[in-house]
Amino acid sequence: MPTTLVFKFLAAVIFNFVISVHTLEVDLTVDVKPGHEECFYEEIKKPTSFEIEYQVIDGGDLDINFMVTSPHGRIMVSELMKSDAVHKLDAVDLGVYKVCFDNSFSHFARKLVFFEIIAGDDEEDEDDDKKDWKAAQEELASIVDMTLEDFKKLLDNVNNNLDKARSDQQVLRNFEARDRNTQENNFQRVNFLSGVQVFIMLSVALTQVLLIRSLFDDRKKTGVSAQGRARGRGVRSVVPVWTWPGGVVPYEIPEDFDEPSKALIKVAMKRWERQTCVRFVPRSEHAQSEAYIKLYKSRNSCFSDIGRNPTQQPQLLGLSDGCMGIPSIVHELGHALGMIHPMSRDDRDQYITLRAENINNGSDRNFMSISDRGYMYFTYGVPYDYKSIMHYNAKIWSKNGNDTMVTVAPEFQTIIGTAADVSFRDNLYINRAYLCSWQCPWMRCENGGVASGTPCRCVCPDGYHGNYCEKRLPGVNRIVDWTCRTGWFYRAGTCYRFLSHATVPWKTAHDLCQQNSGQLPVITDTELMRITGELILEDRELSTAKTFWLGLQLNTTSGLYTWADGSELKHPEWIVNPGELSSDRACAVFNGTAITVTSCGLQPDNGVLCVAPFDPSCGGVFYLTNRGVEVTSPNYPDLHPPDITCQYVFKISGNNRIEITFKDFLLEYSNNCQSDSLEVQLETDVSIPGKRYCGSELTNTTLVSKGNFTIVTLRTDARNHGRGFQLTANPVQSRARSISDHFMNIPISFWKKLFEVPGRFGLG
């Protein structure tokens, strides 16, 4: 047979083969509106396999929900918020398959989705095709030296390669379209956000101009009212409180202060720096600093300007000998940063009541509100803080020893003015005033914590701790005063005490801590490592101790370092010299930044730091509803701890009262209960001291409050412990007024007129 004839025959066979292959292909681009779902249906008439590919090429975050359902309702594929995918499925069930694109999770963005469905062979008469292929194969075999099956495989490869090339080209086109749409959307967003930012900047600038202009243009109007209120009191006209640029406060300490005083000042500065972004920098290290604070050794007073004073440089911060304590210095530095006394806030009448009859003559100016003093002061949304380091005590400037301030919340009457450190709301105020959180935009704190500091970390409210304030302490909704017993100070759920700076061996230090109901520090995580390190570095400024014992020893049995509570050291990288010593008496010391293993004997320049868990059973606020509550003293029925003050406040709503029943009561007896005592406050005025009880005089005794709250305060010393008390507080509902009560309230004049006998001339 001629060669031309052979090629004509092969062309006919190839054409018939291509025609005989029926491949189902569907490609569409669908616009899915926000909040809607778009579905497509494809009928499969015989068992086969098919491939589904989709891409989100425009809209929102380029994501869509995708689902494929079989004719019998079986979900074959389900994906949430994806941008593209390829799925190969076996269509075993015959019928209509459902393909859906769901954009219901989006409320604004519409999605443009390209998808393609490719199904397998869909021949109607398979037997006839097989016969045709067999005949064609026999005919071709008689002409050429190649079977039709070989041609079929060759054509299959060519067909598959062509389909794959076409599919890849379509995918590339879709990617290009998606990238182009993304660039256009980003361009539009950048333009929009730039316009918004320009508008905000112009608005802020205009507001500042109008504000400053009002301060000067309306000087007579605003100054007259301020000066009229404060005439004769020396109050200046309205001025704003200025902050320090960048939170950097240059300072200078003259040589009038000795080295211990300088150390106290630096520690007080660290208290503000610890959880805020402000930094106190020596003036010598701050180039060209025109504004700075110069500490001044005053004779008999402590004072500071409020914030930065641009009209007086350097501005003085006075400290007398009576102010050379860390809380007092922290207080004055708070003024220099821009804080005022909480009782000077314009909203203070909602939180405290002033007792003018108890205030010294001439001291009333100290209770003037900040606006009456002529200052423009912003609270930045920070609530009133009873526990602020800036708050004075209840008897300040009293002429007769009685309270000059009474808190609206009775549980805080004994707390105001007792702060020894910066409170959470103090930190919150400084962080907001100096925009500290703007430096940590990536950090998210839980439970009301605020991101701040250098480096960034979460500042946690009372009752919470952890790297992100995620850890809740027991009694978080009940404890008011997070303070430890006498001689100890509180940090993040733990009480600490620097017991001794004497050089003692590890065993002696361990025994001393146990005798004081504590133990040597056990550091299990990075938070405890940081807190313990801060405390040690602070104490190193104030004492000769350079290192402190830890409750960490080498276990000779296991060859591992273990803590005093029996747990193993989980962070061996914390030890800087783990392999230098192998003695069975190897112990650890901490210098605030690194742990070093050394001998357990006497160590030069070493101190003792003890820790103890905070006791949530000591005090709290209890809100009574329909049921009573039972409260026991710490360690009951065992002996109560020494040197504790536990205040229990019971409150009830409305005009109801509270009934306190003591089931058991035993404290050390002394004249006038001067040693251990339980003070019970039943009056509605919290400034009136309660009655003190000791011995066993309250056993099986019931007391009833005169208002809707009562306060029970346990105070113990270090001698002759008792088992404490067990009490039950029950609500006493106000009873409905009886008819006789109404009759008793009728005026006597009414009864006289009602029963008066008429005279000769009528009624008298």
- We report the CATH number of the domain holding residue 250 as 3.40.390.10
Both tokens of residue 322?
């009576």
Is 529 part of any domain?
yes
Confidence band, pLDDT 50/70/90 cuts, at residue 737: very low
Which of 526, 527, 537, 523 is CA-nearest to residue 611?
523
Q: Is residue 322 part of a domain?
A: yes
Residue 347 forms part of a structural domain: yes
- The predicted structure's pLDDT at residue 763: 31
Q: Are residues 431 and 443 in the same domain?
A: no
Residues 599 and 631 in one domain: no
Measured in whole angstroms, the distance separating CA 478 from the mean position of its chain's CA atoms is: 18
Q: Are residues 151 and 45 in the same domain?
A: yes
Do 397 and 516 lie in one domain? The reply is no
pLDDT at residue 416 greater than cutoff 90:
yes
What pLDDT does 143 receive? 59
User: Same domain for 449 and 500?
Assistant: no
- pLDDT exceeds cutoff 90 at 335: yes
- Has residue 233 been placed in a domain? no
Contact residues for 581 (Cβ-Cβ < 8 A; gap 6+): 554, 597, 598, 599
* Residues 64 and 178 occupy one common structural domain: yes
Do residue 571 and residue 718 come from a single domain?
no
Of 149, 164, 183, the position where a domain reaches its end is: 183
Taking Cα atoms as reference points, which of 275, 711, 334 lies closest to residue 469? 275
Please compute the mean of the pLDDT values over residues 94-106 and round it to a whole number.
Answer: 89
Q: Which structural domain range is residue 360 located in?
A: 239-436
Residue that finishes a domain, picked among 613, 640, 673: 613
Instruction: Work out the pLDDT band at 145, boundaries 50, 70, 90.
Output: low
Residue with tokens 């208002």: 707
Which pLDDT value is given to residue 93?
85
Number of folded domains that form the chain:
5
* CATH number of the domain residue 587 falls in: 3.10.100.10
Mean pLDDT comparison of 15-19, 526-530, 742-746, highest-scoring range: 526-530
Q: Per-residue pLDDT tens for 216-270? A: 444 333 333 333 333 344 444 567 889 999 999 999 999 989 999 999 999 999 9
Mind listing the pLDDT tens digit for each residue in 584-607?
A: 568 999 999 999 998 888 888 899
User: Is 332 a residue of the active site?
Assistant: yes
* Per annotation, catalytic residue among 51, 116, 290, 332: 332
- Answer whether 100's CB lies under 8 Å from 113's CB: no
Q: Are residues 163 and 105 in the same domain?
A: yes
What is the per-residue pLDDT for 738?
46
658 and 581 together in one domain: no
CATH of the domain at 452: 2.10.25
- Residue 125 in this model has a pLDDT that exceeds 50: no
Domain boundary among the residues 183, 203, 223 is at 183
Residue 66 is predicted with a pLDDT of 92
CATH code for the domain of 665: 2.60.120.290
Assign 136 a pLDDT band (cuts: 50, 70, 90).
low
Say yes or no: 169 and 280 in one domain.
Answer: no
* pLDDT above 70 for 699: yes
Residue 579 lies in a domain: yes
Domain annotation covers residue 608: yes
Band (pLDDT 50/70/90 cuts) for residue 678 is: very high
Q: In terms of domains, do 307 and 426 share one?
A: yes
Residue 215 covered by a domain: no
Measured in degrees and rounded to the nearest 5, phi and psi for residue 603 equal -125, 130
Local confidence band at 514 (pLDDT 50, 70, 90 cut-offs): very high
**Are both 161 and 44 inside the same structural domain?**
yes
Report how far residue 354's alpha carbon sits from residue 345's, in angstroms, rounded to the nearest whole number. Answer: 13
Q: What is the model's pLDDT at position 183?
A: 79
Mean pLDDT is lowest, of 201-215, 430-444, 481-495, for: 201-215
Q: What is the mean pLDDT of the chain?
A: 83
To the nearest 10 degrees (0 to 180), the angle between helices 3-20 and 126-143 is 160
pLDDT digits (tens, 9 = 90+) for 305-326: 999 998 888 899 999 998 899 9
In a domain, 132, yes or no: yes
CATH code of the domain in which 116 resides: 2.60.120.680
Q: In the prediction, which pLDDT does 236 show?
A: 45
